[in-house]
Amino acid sequence: MKKIAFMLFALVTLSACEEEVGTQSWCDEMDSTPKTEWNAQGAVDYAKHCVLLDAVGSQAWCEQLENKPKADWSTNDATSYAKYCIL
């Protein structure tokens, strides 16, 4: 039982180290990763969040969200704004 609890704890701890998809740090990490190591979903996410749109947490993204009426913000927008633009 202790072994299972330890494995679950390790899994949760290690998964917390991954960058959130679409953030500026995630885009920077993908830029430094060779394209041959990307999977299909990673390439789609990169194109969507880093090429077509401003990366979450980038200065342009924060400014764009500041100009958007707060009533139009989604829960994810508010959470990401607090996490990346304020803190």
What is the pTM (predicted TM-score) of this model? 0.63
State yes or no: pLDDT of 76 exceeds 80.
yes
Nearest 5 degrees, angle CA 54-CA 59-CA 73?
A: 70
**Count of CB atoms situated within 10 Å of the CB of 73:** 14
Which residue type, as a one-letter code, is found at position 28? D
State yes or no: pLDDT of 73 exceeds 90.
yes
Closest CA to 23 of 86, 71, 81: 81
Structure letter (DSSP) for residue 61:
H
> In sequence order, what are the residues at sequence separation of 6 or more whose Cβ sits closer than 8 angstroms to the Cβ of residue 66?
85
Condensed to tens digits (0 to 9), the pLDDT of residues 11-56 reads 445 455 677 888 888 999 999 999 999 999 999 999 988 998 888 8
